[in-house]
Copies of this chain bind each other. A is one copy, B any other.
Amino acid sequence: MIRVVQFGCGPIGCRIARLAAGRADLQVVAGIDVDPALHGRDLGKVGGGAPLGAAIVGSWDRLPDGAAPALAVHATGSSLRAVAPQLRSLLRAGVDVVSTCEELAFPAGANAAIAGELHDQAVGAGVTLLGTGINPGFVMDAWPLFMTAPCQAVRAIRATRVQDASDRRGPFQRKIGAGLDEAEFRRRAADGEIRHVGLTESAGMIAAGMGWPLDGFTETIEPIMAARAIDTGHVTVAAGQVAGVHQAGAGTVAGRQVITLEFRAAVGLGESWDAVSIDGVPPVEVRIGGGVHGDLGTAAVVVNAIPRVVAAAPGLTTMKDLPPPLAAGA
């Protein structure tokens, strides 16, 4: 039985806690959140469901006597720089950590230095740290890499994620720009407000797995325009307004494009699928019809990774180096 504390009790954190509480090998002992309105409340009820018997407190020091968590699930933000102090405090407390922080999935650029410090701290504390989720963490990195196992050689990898966002949460629909005018979308995209965080990290993981020393990685963000009016119940989109985002990443080695990542998410898209195309010997063309649901998938990948992280060697690890997280059979 692995004792788990949920750090960050927003919608995703609450979903993760509920799923973890349902697994026979995990026990959720408490939640931690900075929001005073949540303190003293039950994690399950805050998530809009039945109580889980685990209360939310304001900080590690306030955990109930005997909580004794072995692992923290961290779900507060995408920016590694912003959440690094939280991660440091958890490592200092001596627990393994699985985080939904996108930039922790495979820290790149300026984040590599932060990640190096976190790695050293984790090794010193004898605990393991992992950043994961459905994307980054699975669909556009760990899964494409896994599918190279039957290949004798790989020249290039393409991963595509296409999501009809019509049935996703309102915050997700707004995050992809649904309902904006094109000019406003472009302004927000230029400001970094509209951007799926993870393509850089996914490309980094693939490149490391394949041994490709990338000499370039470019990312583009374009709006997907609505051909007709859509009302999702969360947002209203007029014909000619933005329905969502088309984000693409391209990684090159010596000018040759070896990694292509394509992420399309829009309301009213009419289709959802995930695909991996490996230009290799033999070639591999693999596709998930209907795609993997984002919110369900992120909670699942995080929870399924917990036993693997507990068993792993100390330090910062990544999805490409862990044994596969497995669901629990019902």
Contacts and interface: CB of A to CB of B under 8 A. Distances in A.
Interface of A: 19, 22, 24, 134, 138-139, 142-143, 145-146, 148-155, 209-212, 258, 280-290, 292-293, 296-297, 299-301, 303-305, 320-330
A153 B328 contact: yes
Contact of A150 (B150, B151, B301): B301
B284 A292 contact: yes
B285 A151 contact: no
B328 A324 contact: no
Given A146-B146, A149-B304, A293-B282, A210 B299 contact: no
A154 B325 CA distance: 13
B297 A150 contact: yes
Contacts of A286: 286-289
Contacts of A154: 327-330
A258 B329 CA distance: 9
B288 A152 contact: no
B155 A330 contact: yes
Nearest to A277: B289
A61 to B, nearest CB: 32
B320 A326 contact: yes
Contacts of A323: 320-323
A304 B320 CA distance: 13
A285 to B, nearest CB: 5
Of listed A289, A303, A322, A324, residue having the most chain B CB within 10 A: A324
Nearest to A150: B297
Nearest to A311: B321
Given A154-B328, A280-B330, A324-B324, 10 more contacts: A22-B153, A142-B324, A150-B292, A153-B328, A153-B330, A210-B326, A211-B328, A280-B327, A320-B324, A322-B323
Contacts of A145: 324, 326
B326 A149 contact: yes
Report the 9 A-B pairs with minimum CB-CB distance, sorted nearest first. A210-B329, A148-B327, A150-B297, A151-B327, A282-B293, A146-B324, A153-B330, A285-B289, A150-B292
Contacts of A134: 150
A299 B150 CA distance: 8
A277 B215 CA distance: 38
Nearest to A290: B285
22 contacts: A19-B152, A22-B153, A138-B149, A145-B324, A145-B326, A149-B300, A150-B292, A151-B300, A152-B296, A152-B299, A152-B300, A154-B328, A154-B330, A209-B326, A209-B329, A210-B326, A283-B290, A284-B288, A284-B292, A285-B289, A287-B289, A320-B323
